Amino acid sequence: MKWNSIRTKVLAALLACLVVGVGGILALMHYSFERNSQALAEESVTGAQKLFTILETREISKMTAVSDVLLVNPQVRDAFAAKDRSRLLDLTAPLYPQLKSEGITNWMFHTAEPDMVVFLRLHNSPKFGDALNRFFDKEVARTHERVTGNELAKAGFAVRIIRPFYDAQGGVTGYVEMGEELGQFIHTMKSQTGSDYGLLLNKKFMDRQFWADSSKVWKRRDNWDDNPNFVVADKTTAGDNIFGFQGDLAAVPEQGKVLERFQDGSSVFVRGIFPVRDAAGNTVGAMFVVRDISSFYLAMRRTQRVLVLLTIVALALGTVLVLTLLTRLIFRRLDHIVVVATRVVGGDYKSEIHVSSDDEVGQFEQLFEQFRRVFVDVLEHVPELQGK
Amino acid sequence: MSQLYDIKLRIEEKIQADKLDANEVKGKIGLRAGKLLAFITADTPDDPATIVKLRQAVKDVLNIAL
């Protein structure tokens, strides 16, 4: 191979184009892959957040509907208006197991203000008479309207509703409250999505005694002292790796945040976080989510590999095609001209150049053949060559 | 007999000995030396520059030193 030949230069240029092209495609694909992976990861977090909101809304609707039924029950209404605890308990206790099986784990009646103490706890009936003094209680007393949201009480951190209860004349006799533990939520979310969840709460917004009481009610270890700033409300994983986070929970953006993408064996996971607010609007904690994105990730990776392979094959075929065309249209014909010219100079005056086309090389072939004829004619008239 | 003609004869001997394509070999040498071998006869006067060129062409094409 001659290094200064056009063929070599064209081949080098094509190879350079191939390398640059493949490199460019690879870089583009890597960029696209990373963007898609990030979008998928973000979608995983926002999807979990949406599901959380949907479940929250659904449970609020369910508890509102149950309280609507209670409100129009004259026996319950009268028993509460008469502050007849034992009768109220007799009337409502049979309902509690059914509601509990549907997720409503907290059910309380509160007296009206100014005392506003717990009149009856269906989930812990021996305990009553205590004032909770939460945002919830103050807000419903202020507005006499239904208040919903997440709130910590003695039976745990739950999505709750609290609404006024009226007597036959329409006067407020107290309040009914229902709640579903957020711990239940994350297990429901796991069963629906297959992802893992963990709820971390900021101690700044928690009541130490409430947490101790709720741990007793639900017969779980009081983990208050495990971490100086946070407490693990519940999780669907065995370990605590899901909660790995260095930062301020209050600074987690509203739409959530992707923390990392990691591989475990052949599986690829995304771990993210989104804030959880209480009824007062405080960021009281954060929900961590770990989603298995292996199927999407591997499908994207497969597509990327196929595209890279196809690009390389296409560029390689293009290189071969261009070289073949150049050889057939130019190089081979130029070689023939060189051979004929050499042979004529060497004494073979009968060698001819056959004009194979009227393209640019063909025009050169024609010109060279005309030149050859003139040259041979001149040689035939040279005295030294007469008779040779 | 001139040196140029002597070189020409030795080229022809080599072509015959190695059974080479005479037109091709003479053509290549002629083009490289800038001299048509057919023009070289026993009476051709020696020209030092042409001798040098012809020897170099023979060296390049047949790889022999004359």
Residue A132: partners with Cβ closer than 8 Å, 6 or more residues away: A110, A116, A118, A153, A154
Say what the pLDDT of residue A63 is: 95
A388 Cβ under 8 Å from any chain B Cβ: yes
Please name the residue of chain B whose CA is at the shortest distance from the CA of residue A350: B23
Q: Are residues A329 and A376 in the same domain?
A: yes
Q: Residues A199, A257: one domain?
A: yes
Q: Which residue has the higher pLDDT, A248 or A69?
A: A69
Q: Is the pLDDT of residue B43 over 90?
A: no
Across the interface, whether the CB atoms of A345 and B27 are under 8 A apart is answered yes
Look at residue A384 in the predicted model and tell me its pLDDT: 66
* A387 in contact with chain B, both atoms CB, cutoff 8 A: no
A388 confidence band (pLDDT: 50, 70, 90): low
Average pLDDT over residues A351-377: 92
Residues of B in contact with A382 (CB under 8 A): 39
Same-domain status, A205 and A175: no
Do A195 and A282 share a domain, yes or no?
yes
CB A128 within 8 A of CB A134: no
- DSSP annotation of A327 reads I
For residue A388, the chain B residues in CB contact (below 8 A) are: 38
pLDDT of residue A71: 92
Q: What is the pLDDT of residues A51-101, one digit of tens each?
A: 989 989 999 999 999 999 999 999 999 999 999 999 999 999 999 999 999
pLDDT in tens, A8-62: 888 888 889 888 888 888 898 889 888 988 888 898 889 989 998 998 999 999 9
Mutate to test the interface with B, among A338, A345, A372, A381 (most CBs of B within 10 A): A345
Domain of residue A212, CATH code: 3.30.450
* Within-domain flag for A36: no
The distance of A325 to chain B (nearest Cα, Å) reads 28
Asked whether residue A35 is assigned to any structural domain, the reply reads: no
Q: Per-residue pLDDT tens for A96-117? A: 999 999 889 889 999 998 889 9
**Distance separating alpha carbons of residues A61 and A43, to the nearest angstrom:** 26
3-state secondary structure of A267: strand
User: Which of A242, A258, A291 is the last residue before a domain boundary?
Assistant: A291
Assess whether pLDDT exceeds 80 at residue A152.
Answer: no
Of the residues A126, A161, A182, the one at which a domain ends: A182
| Pair (A88, A158) in one structural domain | yes
- Minimal-distance CA residue of chain A relative to B36: A345
What is the CB neighbour count within 10 angstroms for residue A33? 15
Answer whether B7 touches A (CB < 8 Å): no
pLDDT at A387: 55
Measured between alpha carbons, how far is A172 from A84 in angstroms, rounded to an integer?
Answer: 16
Contacts of B58 in chain A (CB under 8 A): none
User: DSSP labels for B4-66?
Assistant: HHHHHHHHHHHHHHHT--HHHHHHHHHHHHTS-GGG--TTPPP-HHHHHHHHHHHHHHH----
A29 Cβ contact list (under 8 Å, min separation 6): A304, A307, A308
Q: Is B23–A351 a contact, with Cβ atoms under 8 angstroms apart?
A: yes
pLDDT at A178: 95
| Interface contact flag, B37 A347, Cβ < 8 Å | yes
Q: Which residue of B has its CA nearest to A345?
A: B27
What average pLDDT is seen over chain A? Answer: 88
**Residue among A345, A351, A385 minimizing CB distance to B30:** A345
Q: In angstroms, rounded to a whole number, what is the distance separating the alpha carbons of residues A316 and A322? A: 10
Q: What is the pLDDT of residues A201-215, one digit of tens each?
A: 888 888 888 888 878
Q: What's the alpha-carbon Rg for chain A, to the nearest Å? A: 42
pLDDT tens digit string along A160-181? 999 999 998 889 999 999 999 8
Judged by CB atoms closer than 8 Å, whether chains meet at B31 and A341 is answered as yes
Per DSSP, what are the bridge partners of residue A197? A289
Determine, yes or no, domain membership for A175: yes
The answer on A71 and A16 residing in a single domain is no
Residue A272 pLDDT grade (very low, low, confident, very high; cuts 50, 70, 90)? very high
A192 plus A254 within the same structural domain: yes
B26, B31, B41 ranked by CB distance to A384: nearest: B41
Q: Which structural domain, as residue segments, surrounds residue A211?
A: 184-291
Read off the pTM.
0.68
| A 320-349: CB under 8 A from B | 339, 341-348
Q: Is the ipTM of this complex over 0.95?
A: no
Residue A39 inside a domain? The answer is no
Task: Using an 8 Å CB-CB cutoff, list chain A residues near B27.
Answer: 341-348
Of B25, B39, B41, the CB nearest to A346: B25
Is A59:A159 a contact under the CB 8 Å cutoff? yes
Q: Is the pLDDT of residue A3 over 80?
A: no
Say whether A385 and B39 touch across the interface (CB within 8 A): yes
Write down the pLDDT at residue A154: 65
Q: Mutate which of A339, A342, A378, A381 to disrupt the B interface (most B C-beta within 10 Å)? A: A342
Domain boundary among A291, A320, A353: A291
Size of interface A-B (CB pairs under 8 A): 44
Q: How many domains does chain A have?
A: 3
Q: Cα separation of B40 and B34, whole Å?
A: 12
Q: Are the Cβ atoms of B26 and A379 closer than 8 angstroms?
A: no
Backbone angles phi, psi at A94, to 5 degrees: -60, -25
**Cα–Cα distances in angstroms (integers) from residue A253 to residues A37, A243, A257, A331, in the given order:** 20, 17, 7, 66
Q: What is d(CA A112, CA A201) in angstroms, rounded to the nearest whole number?
A: 30
Chain B residue closest in CA terms to A348: B23
Contact residues, chain A, for B24 at CB < 8 Å:
339, 342-343, 346
Nearest to A346 among B26, B39, B41 (CB): B26
% of chain A at pLDDT higher than 90: 41
A-facing residues of B in 31-50 (CB < 8 A) are: 31, 36-39, 41
Q: What is the pLDDT of residue A123?
A: 87
